């Protein structure tokens, strides 16, 4: 489960393969949209104390970035662009999701390795 954050970038970078069926791109849209919505929810619901420094500094920028990705890749009301433009957008979205997924992965890995916090009674 820890590696699930790397699913959207893998699918986005896989879109460069030739002769993919249209269903692949429909699945790609669903996955990118759902992960973008999850990241938006995470940014809104996570207490500031458990966020990384990067998330605290750039939280509003990340919110709008993932909102734009969710709108752009939404499968319900699709946006139609040329194949060349989609390839550029896939690269950018893949890099964004790869970097943020890696940050999430590292943040969760660090949280598991931290010693428990002392309680007030001890």
**Portion of the chain with pLDDT greater than 70, in percent:** 80
Domain tally, the chain: 1
Would you say residue 51 has pLDDT above 80?
no
> What confidence score (pLDDT) does residue 50 get?
65
Any domain includes 78: yes
Instruction: Report in angstroms the alpha-carbon separations of 40 from 15, 106, 112.
Output: 24, 18, 23
Any domain includes 21: no
Residue 76's nearest CA partner among 21, 36, 29, 113 is 29
pTM of the model: 0.81
Q: When comparing pLDDT for 70 and 63, which is higher?
A: 70
Q: With bands split at pLDDT 50, 70 and 90, how would you rate the model's confidence at 121?
A: low
Any domain includes 121: no
- Pull the structure tokens for residue 114: 């931290």
Any domain includes 25: no
Q: Residue 72 belongs to what domain range?
A: 2-16+30-107
Any domain includes 119: no
Residues 6+ away with beta carbon under 8 Å from 14? 20, 24
Any domain includes 120: no
Q: With bands split at pLDDT 50, 70 and 90, how would you rate the model's confidence at 34?
A: very high
Any domain includes 49: yes
Residues 6+ away with beta carbon under 8 Å from 50? 111
Kindly give the interhelix angle for 53-72 and 22-45, rounded to the nearest 10 degrees.
140
**Portion of the chain with pLDDT greater than 90, in percent:** 48
């Amino acid at each position: 489960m820890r590696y699930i954050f790397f699913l959207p970038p893998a699918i986005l970078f896989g879109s460069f393969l030739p002769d993919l069926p249209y269903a692949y791109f429909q699945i790609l849209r669903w996955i990118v949209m759902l992960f973008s919505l999850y990241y938006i929810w995470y940014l809104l619901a996570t207490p500031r104390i458990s966020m990384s420094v990067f998330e605290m500094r750039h939280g509003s920028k990340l919110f709008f970035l993932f909102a734009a990705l969710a709108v752009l890749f939404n499968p319900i009301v699709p946006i139609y662009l040329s194949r060349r433009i989609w390839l550029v957008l896939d690269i950018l979205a893949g890099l964004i999701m790869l970097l943020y997924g890696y940050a999430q992965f590292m943040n969760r890995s660090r949280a598991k390795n931290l010693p428990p916090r002392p309680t007030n009674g001890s």
